[in-house]
């Protein structure tokens, strides 16, 4: 649903009453199933080239957790045509920037580069889609890189440790969101070349990919290049990920962990809804009202008025199969987490009893929609949003409806989702407390 970063702008936007967005996107599907989304923007001579694969950690099997993210790293290890590490070097030498990311639902690779090098990008990307060097040497190398990333971002990070715990606490063991994208050390250590090759051949196929190109290009020549570089890639038989049953939680689940830190911290995950539900718009607005900006309810109460916390955030995270409404809290050193949690509950219960004001509602919409529309000034953000909506919703045009959908959210909608989802029996909480020396 909400794939845009929020930037607070303190004014009322005149465009909030506009109709639905309608970018002139050209959509093409090659005979092998590769979907191509093209949006011309000739304001500057650059392009943003995204390759999206419909595979993430939710597609992993038990015992193979972390393989989707590991493959994100493996994709930079070269082919017979372009050797190890040449991918990054070639792009950098032509003024390009590139990176990649993996989520529960997808893996994406992007290149931002002067438009004159479009054919070079296609050559590199089409080559590694099918000719990757999946060797024991490369697996061993990238496995160690991913393990070090896990140590730094999870094992040695307080919030990382909490996120590792919150996933299996919130979702049942058989749910595809019950483990973090990084995977477990045990599974990372046991992955074999054969398992990696099977994963690669199954999911890194043209009929499981969407390429989004935004920027300065000639449509006719670009379509000819896509035919040249991608038409001979073979499609694969890919099974559809089954929709898991809705989680029916009957009581709050709690876990306490300990870490070397000065402050007590907390993550709470209420079961929310998937990105495909219309309720996600009201949940996004609710999160903004609660914690976005110094005048938001939780910030005012915990940081400004009672001065018990140094950090507070609330937001709905709607993914393809399910979603959670998450609250993160960092207390001031020496103060117990229960004191801050009690204030959070007070704020939420007050909102559930009395609703939100018209001013809060409008301000939240301003914050969300300003970020949405100003993001379109960036070719990269536009390419990202088109691709993410295609993968999540199966149609990039879903992106065009967001303005109207956020504008349609009422105070009653916000109250309804708060009362429906933010209750005690729907709650999962991980407390982190300082490790006693």
For position 58, what pLDDT does the model report? 96
For position 436, what pLDDT does the model report? 76
Dump pLDDT digits (tens) for 104-146. 999 999 999 999 999 999 999 999 999 999 999 999 999 999 9
Mean pLDDT of the chain: 92
Dump pLDDT digits (tens) for 418-435. 999 999 999 999 999 998
389 Cβ contact partners less than 8 Å away, ≥ 6 residues apart: 3, 395, 396, 397, 398, 399
Q: What percent of the chain has pLDDT over 90?
A: 86
CB 22 within 8 A of CB 371: no
pLDDT(14) > 50: no
Dump pLDDT digits (tens) for 191-225. 999 999 999 999 999 999 999 999 999 999 999 99
Dump pLDDT digits (tens) for 340-380. 999 999 999 999 999 999 999 999 999 998 888 888 889 99
Angle 267-387-104 from CA coordinates, rounded to 5°: 35
For position 4, what pLDDT does the model report? 39
pLDDT(2) > 50: no
- Give the residue among 320, 318, 410 at the shortest CA–CA distance from 365: 410
Sorting pLDDT into bands at 50, 70 and 90, what band is 20?
low
What are the respective helix, strand and coil percentages of the chain, to the nearest 5? Answer: 45, 20, 35
Q: Which domains does the chain have, with CATH numbers?
A: 23-230 (3.30.830.10), 253-434 (3.30.830.10)
Dump pLDDT digits (tens) for 178-192. 999 999 999 999 999
For position 7, what pLDDT does the model report? 29
Token pair listed for 47? 């392009």
Query: pLDDT higher for 248 or 275?
Result: 275
- Give the residue among 302, 296, 235 at the shortest CA–CA distance from 266: 302
**Edge-to-edge order in the sheet of strand 265-271:** 253-259, 427-434, 265-271, 323-331, 309-318
Dump pLDDT digits (tens) for 297-342. 999 999 999 999 999 999 999 999 999 999 999 999 999 999 999 9
Mean pLDDT of 230-239: 93
Token pair listed for 31? 């005979």
Parallel, antiparallel, or unpaired: how do β-strands 107-114 and 46-53 relate? Answer: antiparallel
pLDDT(22) > 80: no
Q: Give the integer Cα–Cα distance in Å for 60 and 80.
A: 27
For position 345, what pLDDT does the model report? 98
Predicted structure pTM score: 0.91
Sorting pLDDT into bands at 50, 70 and 90, what band is 10?
very low
């Amino acid at each position: 649903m909400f794939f845009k970063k929020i930037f607070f702008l303190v004014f009322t936007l005149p465009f909030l009453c506009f109709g639905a967005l309608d970018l002139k996107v050209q959509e093409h599907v090659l005979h092998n199933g590769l979907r191509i989304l093209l949006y011309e923007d000739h304001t500057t001579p650059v392009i943003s080239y995204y390759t999206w694969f419909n595979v993430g950690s939710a597609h992993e099997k038990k015992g193979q957790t972390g393989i989707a993210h590991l493959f994100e790293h493996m994709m930079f290890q070269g082919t017979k045509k372009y050797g190890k590490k040449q991918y990054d070097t070639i792009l950098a030498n032509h003024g390009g920037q590139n990176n990649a990311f993996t989520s529960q639902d997808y893996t994406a690779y992007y290149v931002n580069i002067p438009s004159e090098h479009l054919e070079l990008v296609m050559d590199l990307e089409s080559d590694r889609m099918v000719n990757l060097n999946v060797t024991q040497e490369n697996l061993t190398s990238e496995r160690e890189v991913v393990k070090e990333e896990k140590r730094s971002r999870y094992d040695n990070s307080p919030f990382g440790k909490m996120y590792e715990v919150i996933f299996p606490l919130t979702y049942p063991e058989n749910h595809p969101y019950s483990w973090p994208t990084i995977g477990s050390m045990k599974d990372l250590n046991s992955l074999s070349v054969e398992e990696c090759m099977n994963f690669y051949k199954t999911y890194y196929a043209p009929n499981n990919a969407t390429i989004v190109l935004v920027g300065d290009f000639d449509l006719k020549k670009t379509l000819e290049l896509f035919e040249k570089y991608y038409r001979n890639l073979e499609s694969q038989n890919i099974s559809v990920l089954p929709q898991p049953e809705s989680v029916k939680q009957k009581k709050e689940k709690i876990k306490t962990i300990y870490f070397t830190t000065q402050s007590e911290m907390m993550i709470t995950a209420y079961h929310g809804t998937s990105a495909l539900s219309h309720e996600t718009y009201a949940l996004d607005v609710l999160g903004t009202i609660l914690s976005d900006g110094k005048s938001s309810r939780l910030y005012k109460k915990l940081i400004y008025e009672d001065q018990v916390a140094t950090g507070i955030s609330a937001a709905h995270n709607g993914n393809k199969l399910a979603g959670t409404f998450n609250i993160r809290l960092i207390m001031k050193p020496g103060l117990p987490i229960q004191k801050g949690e009690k204030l959070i509950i007070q704020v939420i219960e007050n909102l559930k009893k009395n609703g939100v004001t018209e001013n809060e509602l409008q301000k939240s919409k301003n914050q969300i929609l300003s970020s949405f529309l100003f993001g379109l000034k960036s070719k990269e953000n536009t390419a990202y949003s088109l691709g993410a909506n295609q993968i999540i919703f199966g149609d990039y045009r879903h992106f065009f409806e967001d303005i109207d959908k956020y504008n349609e959210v009422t105070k009653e909608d916000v109250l309804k989702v708060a009362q429906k989802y933010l209750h005690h029996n729907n709650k999962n909480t991980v407390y982190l407390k300082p490790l006693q020396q």
